[in-house]
Amino acid sequence: MTRTARLVLFGVAAAGLGVVLVYGLSGLPAFGHYQGVYGNVIDGLGVTERHATDLVTALNFDIRGFDTLGEEFILFGSVLGVVLILRQMRDEHERPRQHEADEHTFAGASEALRALSLAMIPAILAIGIYIVVHGQLTPGGGFQGGVILAAGPLAVLRRRRSSRR
């Protein structure tokens, strides 16, 4: 396919996407004027029946409790699957070759990069804790915070592995 044909194809696709976006966004209500039934039901149930002042938290953990439990079960199942796949068998003692091990460490990294990665660990952990604690403010915030918290110890392990040399 020539460059001109690719540009024409891109132009047609971009124009189609633009039409779909304009059509979709033109039907939205004005900001602050929600007209959905679900929000009105939650607004009425949250304070009167559930005695919750934070409606987002009441929605996530009380009204949608089974849905949240299902999400947690999916997360548990995926972690269990990864653990079962990556576990080491009894008689398995395979060691990576030296050139393969060098590809997965800080091989060739400068001392400044190593020091910066070590200095970033407290910031990574602080951001992860903040997102986990305030996870009710955004959908799924606790999950993203858990991923960030898992990245902090990984940086520590990378630092230790590279400093053994």
DSSP of 59-98, one letter per residue? Answer: IIIIITHHHHHHHHHHHHHHHHHHHHHHPPPTT------H
The pLDDT, as a whole number, for residue 100 is 59
Q: What φ, ψ does residue 164 adopt, rounded to 5°? A: -75, -20
- Percent of the chain scoring above 70 in pLDDT: 75
In the predicted model, what is the mean pLDDT of residues 39-56? 80
The pLDDT, as a whole number, for residue 97 is 66
111-133 and 141-163 helices, crossing angle to 10°: 160
In the predicted model, what is the mean pLDDT of residues 61-73? 76
The pLDDT, as a whole number, for residue 61 is 73
Mean pLDDT, the chain, as a whole number?
77
Nearest CA among 155, 67, 163 for reference residue 118 = 155
Exposure of 93 in the CB half-sphere (CA atoms within 13 A): 1
The pLDDT, as a whole number, for residue 165 is 47
H-helix or E-strand spanning residue 25 = helix 3-26
Tell me the CA distances in angstroms from 165 to 68, 101, 105, 149, one per residue in order. 45, 12, 11, 27
Exposure of 145 in the CB half-sphere (CA atoms within 13 A): 17
Question: What digits encode the pLDDT tens for the residues 12-30?
Answer: 999 999 999 999 999 888 8
Distance CA 46, CA 52 (A): 6
Residue 73, pLDDT above cutoff 80: yes
Confidence of residue 155 (pLDDT cuts 50, 70, 90): low
At 159, which amino acid appears? R
Question: What digits encode the pLDDT tens for the residues 94-139?
Answer: 666 666 555 555 556 677 877 887 888 888 888 888 888 777 666 6
The pLDDT, as a whole number, for residue 117 is 79
